[in-house]
A and B are shown apart, each in its own frame.
Chain A
Amino acid sequence: MLSLYTFILLIFGLAVVLDAKSSSGNSVLVILDPARRPDYSIFFDGLQEKGYDLTFRAPKDETPVLIQDDIPSFAHVVFFESDTKHFAKDITPQTLVELLSGKTNLLIALSQKQNLLTSFAPEFSLILPPPGSSLLSYFPERKENNSVVPIEVPSSSNIISAGTAPVWFSGVPFVLGNNPLIFPILNAPAESFAADAEGITPDALADAAEKGGEGLWAGSQLAVAAGFQTLGNARVAWLGGVELFSNEFAKKEISKGVKSGNQQAAADIAAWTFQESLVLRIDSTTHHLVNTSVPKEHYTINDVVEYIAQISRFNPNKGKWEPYSGINDLQLEFTMLDPHIRTALPPVPGSPGKYAVTLRVPDRHGVFKFVINHKRKGWTYLQSSTTVPVVPPRHDGYPRFLSAAWPYYAGAISTSLGFFVFSALYLAGDARETNLRKAKGAKAQ
């Protein structure tokens, strides 16, 4: 029996190791015309090697459906077929949003043609150039078409690994609106611009430049790849063009003898989208009075309380969650409507993944919450809220016999003593008077 149990554990452990690439599941649906599948085989083979389970679906196929019985059928959806005008009836902006609510991650490639994505992208604060435009650049001088642009990978990017060679790009750039949840992964080169590849003439460009660039989509504020993380931590990667992931660009040399970084960049973007990289979670949070270890049901005003959070980061190489102490700007709030206390929640040196802070509960009773709300671009949002009531001291919880109150105590005690002495003397006087009167009466008789 024991051996069976260990065997099951072993199988389970193996399964975890084999499955272990994404923190949110391995099933991937790729929406792509089967005829074009070989064009992206390097990318797809890379995913399969990592352990992803790819399912392909032509844009007009009815099955497999994206959402079955209100439950998303796949953990990730790759939307490469964007040149198509019409899709099967379950592929609509509404279903894509529903997928995101169901924590499905999306990898979406835009195209110059108008289709459902043209209306879907603005919902993510992506502002697309006029239809038919693509990214053009005359620099650096090269033998390729002007619409095939080499793009340097920013060194500060935490999504694409450092040291990746420049990548080839061809497709639509876009401007990012002011939605705080979207951020650029790759920006267009400074000297590039968006225009209709046939319609643009040097004269028109010069005119636009004379007007201060008005009406010209240009410069490094344009993005060619952007990430969007919903409040529910589903991730969407927007790509200006699907060619970024193609075999052709992956094999193409960026300069003589140097392979382009497309393969690496594609794998990194997919890794971010599929919840492999920059994935955090709060394992547990707890709170207790200092010098005790058990959480209290409620605290009294002015108590000194310690709050502890345990945070892990997903390690895609091992497929395991590991304690993570690398967050230096984590904050804790103690709120009742407003944060009464907002303080840094620093990592505890020596204990990995542990963040702790000691704080004094405000001199104010009510229902308070310990709140962690950590949103950083690219990283999983960390949100945690623990409700604790804060009560005033019990009737016997106040300090007693204070030295400052001795005049009052003395006053009350002296009044009581005075009352006893007074009553005694009064009665004594009464007796004396009676005796006196009796004596007088006797004398008179």
Chain B
Amino acid sequence: MAAPSSSSSSSPVLSLWKAYHQNTSDRLKFIDSFLIFLMISGIIQFVYCVLVTNFPFNAFLAGFSSTVGQFVLTASLRSQVNPENKGVFKDVSPERAFSDFVLGSIVLHFFVFNFLG
């Protein structure tokens, strides 16, 4: 949905930010903040791997893929609980989406901690 154009907003970025602020529900904003946390964590690990050491490599893979995997699962949750996408996910109730998210995350963390060694 397009942000309502306002004569006072001089920059498109600013207007985008404003529209996001006004038109996004608190729940989705909460999910977005978790996504940003995961992204930052992943970037830090990647930079550490490139600049400092990739040894032990399995630990890097586990740590990095846990953030990436969690990001993907959380992003799926966000698109499924977004009321705007109700038409696309007719059969998926928000409760069902959340339980999928939890199950997927538990499996992911199981593998991550196995691999972290």
Contact = CB atoms under 8 A, between A and B. Distances in A.
Interface in A157-187: none
B62 A429 contact: no
Interface in A315-370: none
Given A400-B117, A404-B53, A414-B41, A409 B30 contact: no
Interface string A404-445: 110111111011101100110111011001000000000000
Interface residues of A, number: 24
Contacts of A71: none
Contacts, number: 81
A402 interface: yes
Interface size class of B (residues with CB under 8 A): 20 to 34
A291 B62 CA distance: 38
B44 interface: yes
B93 to A, nearest CB: 12
A407 B42 CA distance: 10
A400 to B, nearest CB: 6
Contacts of B102: 423
Question: Mostly helix, strand, loop or mixed at chain A's interface?
Answer: helix
B56 interface: yes
Nearest to B25: A433
B116 A409 contact: yes
A35 to B, nearest CB: 86
Classify the interface of chain B: helix, strand, loop or mixed: helix
Interface string B64-87: 101100100010000000000000
Nearest to B60: A408
Nearest to A399: B56
A410 B74 CA distance: 20
B63 A422 contact: no
Nearest to B113: A412
B67 A429 contact: no
A407 B64 CA distance: 10
A136 to B, nearest CB: 78
A411 B45 contact: yes
Given A415-B67, A425-B30, A429-B27, A408 B59 contact: yes
Interface of A: 398, 400, 402, 404-405, 407-412, 414-416, 418-419, 422-423, 425-427, 429-430, 433
29 contacts: A402-B59, A404-B52, A404-B55, A404-B56, A405-B55, A405-B60, A407-B45, A408-B48, A408-B60, A409-B63, A411-B42, A411-B45, A411-B66, A414-B41, A415-B67, A415-B112, A416-B109, A416-B113, A418-B34, A418-B70, A419-B109, A422-B34, A423-B105, A425-B30, A426-B27, A426-B30, A426-B31, A429-B30, A430-B98
Interface of B: 26-27, 30-31, 34, 37-38, 41-42, 44-45, 48, 52-53, 55-56, 59-60, 62-64, 66-67, 70, 74, 98, 102, 105, 109, 112-113, 116-117
Question: Closest 4 A-B residue pairs measured CB to CB?
Answer: A408-B63, A411-B63, A405-B59, A408-B59
